[in-house]
Amino acid sequence: MNPEIFLRNLDFFYQRYPYDKNRLHPLAEEFLKQNYFDAHYKLETTENKRKLFENGRLIDLEDDPPSSPAVNTIDAVPARNLILLGLGFWSRLENAFFTHSSETKEFYVIEPNIQRFFASLWSRDVAGNVFSKPTIHWMIGLESQDVGIRFLQLLRDKDRLRGVRARNFVEHPLLASAESTYYQAVKKEWDSTCIFAERGTGHRLDSMVGLENTIQNSTFIESNPGIELLKNQFEGVPSIVISTGPSLAKSLDQLRSLQDKALLISADASLKILLENEIVPHFVLTMERDECGKPFFELLHSKYPQLKSHLVAYPVVPHSVLTLYPGPKWVAYMTYEFYGHLEGMLPRGVLPAGHSVAHMAACLGSFLGSKEVFLVGQDLSFDPDTLSSHPAGIAYEEWSHSRSEEELKQKLKREGHKLYWWPGNLRDKVPTFTMYLVFLMEFVELISQIKAKITNCTEGGAKIPGIDWRRLEDVSKDWIKRPDFFSKLDKIRARFQNDSSLDFSRLAQYLEITAKNLSNCRDILSMSITSIDKNFVEARESFSKVLAKLRRDFDELVADRIFRSLTSDFLGFTFFENENRWYSRFDRDETLKEKAVILKEEYESLTEIAAEVRAVLRQDPNRRKYSFYE
């Protein structure tokens, strides 16, 4: 094979996975320099057979016609997701990619051995066929836990998540014995990641509390300006996002000196620490829908009654938390489709966010017009010395306490998480856990989603792939003093005029009609199930047609943004669990009734949630009152 073709194959791979280039390319250069393929691999070719040996051991073969179907074909039960464990010749993979069952939608190729991956690129020109296909995902030379993190990143896609449990693992038959421990670990990572990703979509209680808070905050929305007035108002001014990781204390002196040179955007949990150190952030952000934010604000009226910092809040934040804040307030809508209805009624501006207020803050910095956003206190890890999660001075004192590694492991295990060791900014590895890694990957995604460049200036913490790390004192040495930011904010705020109100009656009317239609579909399924119970043979054909029609109707409904924004989005992981039950059963006679029962339950849950959302929108006094504190 020509080395140029090997490099061409690699270039196509790097185009798909640019963040893997720094890790793989130096090894690829060594592979070429040391003539690694000739030294460790042997490719035997006859008229109709090719064998590949690795250090004398047969690791793959292909022949035409195939003498060993177990080796040359992907002989697996069809599944929506095929996880292919182990590389060899590309013929087996290409067979799976291009002649697979119509029920298979996604492929995941896992190969732990980087040199074996290079050998496969050396032995076949494949680049144009596979690396550009968005339904084929490649994970090369990764530890099993890192494969799990890649899975988690991919499973954030909600359409993909709907059928994620419909999966089959296909082990390479000639590599399975050598890699069995690794393959088993990857299987566990997939299944545990599916559970975690489903839970990450929220749940009914969480969604309904957020809706209840939003409706009860109608006056807050109507009487305060939205961030739309702030768009690009601070163009060219650097923004510093101040999170509450354990390293924050190391940045306080530097932040104090930069208050008139950069916009300081603080997480709600950081505010107390900043104010006690004579740092007044220009913005404070809050986003949680429970009352955990109360301790961050509860002493502000007495200690800082003339607080200048401007609060930016989502309407999901409880009214009881918002009223504790003494300073000026701004409204921002979340990117959930439900808030598109509010933006249409009463424009206030939409601000993206991930799972944490830090992502919300980075998005705000870009929205304000900053060309660069700098992160401090964004450790995304525990303190490597004390294993505390937050700095001293935080409102929840116990968050800053030291603990042993075993105590931390046990705590995380009780909460359904794991301890990981991840590359650090100032240390080789730092301790982190599942949720921090979700936040980390969301920052990786944010790089391409906002205009501002993100630079990490955290004094320690976990390395964020694709984001440069620099010391804050170095990046800020040439910053200039700016006119008073608070005066400008007050002038912008003075433009606000409250001349409209929120009216949810049309949405409630839509849901009333929708609930009736959903209920009718559920009843049709119930009658069909009864008929097939009486006589399967006679009812099968008509039953299959009814089931197929109602499933098509269901898919069209959940694909509709208005319907989804008022129903299935509020079900959270329940919706995805039901969908995975459906996609895990194929269209066979023995599964028809099972699928009908699942679909009936899906229609039933949508009927119920439509009625509950309608009751909240109308503020029906007899509605179910959702609360985290029941």
Q: What is the per-residue pLDDT for 75?
A: 46
Name the band, by pLDDT with cuts 50, 70 and 90, for residue 588. low
In the block, which residue shows the tokens 């082990």? Answer: 171
pLDDT tens per residue across span 179-232? 999 999 999 999 988 888 887 787 889 999 999 999 999 999 999 999 999 999
Nearest to 120 by CA among 271, 13, 17: 13
CATH, domain 3-199, list 2.120.10, 3.30.56, 1.10.490, 3.40.50: 3.40.50
pTM of the predicted protein model = 0.84
Model confidence at 73, pLDDT cuts 50, 70, 90, reads very low
Mean pLDDT of 273-295: 97
Cβ atoms 366, 233 nearer than 8 A: no
Q: Which long-range contacts (CB under 8 A, 24 or more apart) does 345-351 make?
A: 345/500, 345/502, 345/503, 346/221, 346/222, 346/500, 346/501, 346/502, 347/226, 347/228, 348/221, 348/225, 348/226, 348/227, 348/228, 349/226, 349/227, 349/228, 349/229, 349/230, 349/231, 351/227, 351/312, 351/314
Residue 234: its pLDDT value, please?
Answer: 98
For the sheet containing 283-286, what is the strand order?
Answer: 329-331, 310-313, 283-286, 263-267, 239-242, 372-376, 453-456, 468-469
Residue pair 547/553 in contact by the 8 Å Cβ criterion:
no
What phi-psi label fits residue 349: left (phi over 0), alpha (psi between -120 and 50 degrees) or beta? left
CA angle 498, 499, 502 (to 5 degrees): 90
Residue with tokens 């204390």: 249
Structure tokens at 97: 């990619």
Gap between the Cα atoms of 458 and 44, Å rounded: 53
**36: how many CB neighbours lie within 10 A of its CB?**
17
**Is the pLDDT assigned to residue 462 strictly greater than 60?**
yes
Least trusted range by pLDDT, from 20-34, 215-229, 276-290: 20-34
Average pLDDT over residues 124-137: 79
Residue holding tokens 């009216």? 503
Listed residue (166, 165, 131, 137) closest to 149, CA to CA: 137
Residue 344 to residues 340, 499, 502, Cα–Cα distance (Å): 6, 14, 10
In this prediction, residue 123 carries a pLDDT of: 67
| Across 33-59, average pLDDT | 86
Which has more confidence, 343 or 172? Answer: 343
Instruction: Kindly tell me the number of DSSP H helices and DSSP E strands found in the chain.
Output: 28, 17
Q: How confident is the model at residue 352 (pLDDT cuts 50, 70, 90)?
A: very high
Nearest one of 421, 435, 429 to 460, comparing CA atoms: 429
The predicted-structure confidence for 530-560, as pLDDT tens digits, reads as follows 887 777 777 788 888 999 999 999 999 999 9
Amino acid at 517: N
Burial class (CB in 10 A: 0-12, 13-18, 19+), 185: middle
pLDDT digits (tens, 9 = 90+) for 294-325: 999 999 999 999 999 999 999 999 999 999 99
Q: What is the pLDDT of residue 4?
A: 83
- For residue 411, what pLDDT is reported? 94
Q: Quick one: pLDDT band at residue 157, thresholds 50, 70, 90?
A: confident
User: ∠ CA 249-252-257 to the nearest 5 degrees?
Assistant: 170
Average pLDDT, the chain: 90
Cα radius of gyration rounded to whole Å, the chain? 28
